[in-house]
Amino acid sequence: MTVSRWATGKVVRDHPFLSAIVALELVFLALPSLIVLVTSFSGGETLAFPPESLSVRWYAAIPGASDYIGAFANSIYAATLCTAIAVPAGVLTAIGLIRYDVRFKNLTQVYLLLPFTVPLVVSGVILFIIFGRLGWLDNIWAVGLALAIINLPFMLWSVTSSVNGIDPSIENAAKSLGAEELQTFVHVTFPQILPGVVTGALLMFILGLNEFIVSLFITSSGIYTLPVQLYTSIRGNVSPLIAAVSSVYVLVAMLAIVVADRVVGLQRLLHS
């Protein structure tokens, strides 16, 4: 048995089968992506595993696949807008609920977490009805707004974790030296919660980039995000091009994880 030390400082002994279980879980999680990656190098016209021949022809065809390129641009736009909305909303909400005496605080916290507890199918139907009444359907910015609504709890959790770690005496010291409320926030509070803000922003971007169910309800045949475009394409033509596009899409998500590791560290990301 191996000995490991957790963040609490306690020394514990791993279960003899723990490493094997973790390895099986990692294989189980990575296997679908690996299968897609292998099939993306197929030289044939149809999706097959294992491929009968190997080729990079489908990767070379990606720049000319205007439908996928446009859908990917829509996904980037929606994920960016989702992040831009969620960051100020999450930061101000987290600070307001923790630092100030807000009426019905517990009820407000439960209400803000509802998007996370409601099934995505139900959220998609609700947003479809509301956005339809407002005339917002078939707009990519509406997709970004919807993604911000359903994923906001992740931003709140990340920022709240950082706000709870701030020593209030530091903020009080700044105020006692003459700093106003806004100055204290900009020069004292925000720099301390910045790792949580960056973590939350990266989470919001990745979740917004990969969201499928809610996007399916709000988009139309003229405006697709990439997950919806892949779903629509695979229903009609099972081509290795779909696997190639999916592999590139997974690579983009992995790059986002690498950025998160470089900026705040994966340990901080997972802790938040």
- Please say whether the beta carbons of 71 and 225 come within 8 A: yes
Q: What's the whole-number average pLDDT of the chain? A: 79
Over residues 121-147, mean pLDDT: 87
Burial class (CB in 10 A: 0-12, 13-18, 19+), 240: buried
Amino acid letter, 52:
E
- Please say whether the beta carbons of 203 and 158 come within 8 A: yes
- Structural domain boundaries in the chain: 3-57, 64-271
C-alpha 125/C-alpha 139 separation (Å) is: 16
Over residues 2-9, mean pLDDT: 46
Percent of the chain exceeding pLDDT 90 equals: 6
Distance from chain centroid for Cα 172: 35
Domain 64-271 annotated CATH 1.10.3720.10: yes
pLDDT at 125 over 80: yes
Provide the whole-model pTM: 0.77
For the chain, the C-alpha Rg in angstroms (whole number) is: 22
- List the one residue out of 31, 59, 30, 55 whose CA is nearest residue 42: 55
> According to the model, what pLDDT value does residue 15 have?
65
Q: How far is CA 14 from CA 9, 11, 25, 32, 147, in A?
A: 15, 10, 16, 28, 39
Higher pLDDT, 177 or 126: 126
- List the one residue out of 148, 43, 159, 17 whose CA is nearest residue 99: 159
- List the one residue out of 220, 110, 214, 224 whose CA is nearest residue 156: 110
pLDDT one-digit tens code per residue, 60-76: 888 888 888 888 888 89
pLDDT band at residue 3 under the 50/70/90 scheme: very low
pLDDT one-digit tens code per residue, 166-222: 777 777 787 777 777 777 777 788 888 887 888 888 888 888 888 888 888 887 767
> According to the model, what pLDDT value does residue 85 have?
93
